[in-house]
Amino acid sequence: MVNPSKIREGAVEYSLGNFDGKSVSYDFDKILIYLNVKGKLLFGKHFKIYEEDRDIIWKLANYFVKDYENCAKHKIDPDKGLLLSGPVGCGKTSLMKLLKYLVPHQRPYSVIPCRNIAFSFNHLGYKTIDDYGNSQSYCFDDLGVEPIGRHYGKDCNVMGEILLSRHELFLKHNIKTHATTNLNAQELENLYGVRVRSRMRQLFNLVAFDVGVKDKRK
């Protein structure tokens, strides 16, 4: 039987809590130990978990491990995707790349920069929108800062179209979509329109860093 409370990195096994054969009682301190180790493996020895980020990591960890009781306290629906928002350099992308490793038994997702998707549209046209409207799971990174797509002289709000496709996929097949963004709700609505913004509410849980969080790249 697979024990979801244990994760092996090389020769070392890390415990995330206790497994009784049916469910896991997760230990947040143990989760943080594992995330620190995995973060250094992914991003280099300078990676660390900041004390100021504990609360938001706690919310995100509860989401990923599907702790329904704690998710309910934070008004997070584990069946929807995540929209992680915050200022430039606060660590959104790193966390979305990192936290999926807490649940290797769950369906993985790929983290794709939105600007790369817009550039792909410029070369391939509407095939790009079809490609990202498929049944795979994605985290769209830096939503809202991508340029407008242009293919053979026709402009297209590429990510807006993809989000509409992902919304249909979510309703029909319960396939999640995640995203990170520097923008607030009004800025996203101004960029993608009321229709897309309305569907984003159904598609995503909004989890936000504090506005004053420091830029960790400095």
Structural domains in the chain, CATH included, are: 76-208 (3.40.50.300)
Alpha-helical (H) ranges within the chain are 28-43, 54-64, 68-73, 92-99, 114-124, 127-132, 158-173, 185-192, 194-203
CB 7 within 8 A of CB 106: no
The rounded Cα 178 to chain-centroid distance in angstroms is: 4
State the pLDDT confidence band at 107, using cuts at 50, 70 and 90. confident
Query: What are the Cα distances from residue 181, in Å, to 30, 92, 137, 158?
Result: 29, 8, 17, 16
pLDDT digits (tens, 9 = 90+) for 133-185: 888 999 999 999 999 888 888 899 999 999 999 999 999 999 999 999 999 99
Q: Which two tokens stand for residue 155?
A: 């402009």
pLDDT of 154: 87
For 199-213, write each residue's pLDDT tens digit: 999 999 999 998 778
Confidence (pLDDT) at 152: 83
Q: How big is the chain, counted in residues?
A: 218
Task: Give me the pLDDT at residue 214, please.
Answer: 77
Interatomic CA distance for residues 87 and 62, integer angstroms: 22
Q: Tell me what percent of the residues of the chain surpass a pLDDT of 90.
A: 83
What is the rounded CA–CA span in Å between residue 145 and residue 191?
10
pLDDT band for position 1 (cuts 50, 70, 90): low
Neighbours of 17 (CB within 10 A): 17
CB 1 within 8 A of CB 8: no
List pLDDT tens digits, range 57-88.
999 999 999 999 999 999 999 999 999 999 99
**What's the pLDDT at 196?**
96
**Report field, pTM of the whole predicted structure over 0.85:** yes
The mean predicted confidence, pLDDT, of the chain is 94
Structure tokens of 118? 């817009």
Q: What is the mean pLDDT of residues 211-216?
A: 78
